[in-house]
Amino acid sequence: MAESGDELSQLCRDAASYRRVLVGVLAASLLVFAVGVSVQATMLPLKSDHVPILNRLTANLCTVALVLAAAWGSPLWRLSWSAKLTVFTGICLAAATLRGGLQIALHVHPADQTGMVFADAAAAAIATAFSIGVAVALAEYQRALVHRTRAGARHAQLASEALEALRTEELRVRRDVAQGLHGTVQQQLVLVDAELLKARKTLLAGAPQTEVVERLDWVRDTLDQLRERDIRDMSRLLYPSGLDLGLAQAWRIFIRQIPSSIEVTTLIDDSVISADDPACGGIAIERRLLALRVLEEAVNNAIRHGQAEHLDINLHVNSGILHVTIDDDGTGPARPTGHAGHHESGLRLLRESLRQYDGDLQLEAGALRGARLTARLPLTPSTQLDEHNASLSTTP
């Protein structure tokens, strides 16, 4: 798998750190053994042999040097446990052989006392194995600690990015609602007011009732449209209809708002209904909202930017993961322009939001024409963001 420059340098730093801890602990442990055993053998000779301490020390220190060099030179941090075991066995055997050989060469033991030589060689192997065991345990512990700390920092960063994305989204919604209230709704109300004034004047002037009735009918129609379209749209921006009732319900409500001139084929699999069954607790609201935003973004992009006339909407759950597929027959995905337009930034925000829940989103050209949007959203709480949401929901 290709790794970025940052990841590669991180791996190198981790390897160096692992090796430093391993070799450092190994050196400290083996030196204590080497010096201690040499001093002990010189102070308490078994027989009347007077071997100089320097000879014993030389044999032991050379053995320690061999072990340290082998440990330093082996890529232990990236070996499997079975490979590690093979390397360690080799090092222990090499240490035993070298110590035995040096002890004979330096006359620590006469060559004919093979029992003593083997005993000291075995002691070297055991001391090396023990030291390696302690050193590896400490190096692995340090590695796990670093990984845990790094994972914590990464989750904290993800949570921070998610909150930032939420703030951005909230600002966008506030701006859209403000524009809607200040623009369309206010304009319509001004027109209604003007029409009512005209109706009043017409009434006072004693004009035929039909003229007044026509004006009042126009006012009723305008108010009805205002309620049906503009107020509903703004309300949806603040909190989509049906979100509390279920994911499928919220999707259906949105899909029914799509103009009837657009051909829509919808398949909401029973697996979604089962996953969202109130008897099992249903799908968490924040996940329903995210899945709905995916649908809204796909439909808006397809109709507004892709001039699509047909949509295929598919929603199903498999192994605890919600799968969304939306195909359209429009002009296909827009090429990235470098400066993010509204729909590009919308997709980017959605990708970011999905990533917080270990999900993802892809937009690609359709098999024949148009675009295909696919998204995955795990439904089982697992991320730090879930814990954050859970803590918010339990806070009084």
Partner 1 sequence: MAVVAHAVVRVAVVEDHQLYREMLSSVLADQAGIEVRTSVAGAQAARAAITAGSVDVAILDVELADGNGVSLGVQLRRRDPRIGILLLSGLDVMELLLDLPADVRRGWSYLSKASAISVHTVTAAIRATASGHTMLDPALVAKSVPRKGSSLARLTPRQLDVLQLLATGLSNAGIAQRLELSERTLENHLNSIYAALKLPENQNSRVSAVLRFIEETSHG
Residues that bind partner 1 (CB under 8 A): 228, 241-242, 244-246, 248-249, 252-253, 255-264, 266, 268, 270, 272-274, 277-279, 309-310
Closest CB to partner 1 among residues 77, 254: 254
Q: Based on CB atoms, which residue is closest to partner 1, 22 or 268?
A: 268
CB of 275 to partner 1, least distance (A): 11
For residues 320 and 284, is the Cβ–Cβ distance under 8 A? Answer: no
Closest distance to partner 1 from the beta carbon of 369 (Å): 16
Cβ 258 to partner 1 shortest distance, Å? 6
Of 51 and 255, CB closest to partner 1: 255
Closer of 221 and 277 to partner 1 (Cβ):
277
Backbone dihedral angles phi then psi of residue 370, each to the nearest 5 degrees: 70, -155
Instruction: Name the CA dihedral angle for 48, 49, 52, 57, rounded to a multiple of 10 degrees.
Output: -110
Q: How far is the CB of 223 from partner 1 (least distance, A)?
A: 13
Closest CA to 96 of 72, 73, 126, 131: 126
**Structure tokens that stand for 323 in this block:** 């799968």
Give rounded-to-5 percent helix, strand, coil for the chain.
70, 10, 20
Answer positive or negative: Cα dihedral of 298, 299, 300, 305. positive
Shortest gap between Cβ of 315 and partner 1 (angstroms)? 10
CA dist., res. 142 & res. 13, Å (int): 13
Nearer Cβ to partner 1, position 35 or 216?
216
Place of tokens 């990236």: 78
Tokens 């071997």 map to which residue? 51
**Could you tell me which residues are beta bridge partners of residue 41?**
none
Minimal distance, residue 232 CB to partner 1, in Å: 8
Per DSSP, the three-state class of 48 is coil
Residue placing its CB nearer to partner 1 in the complex, 20 or 256: 256
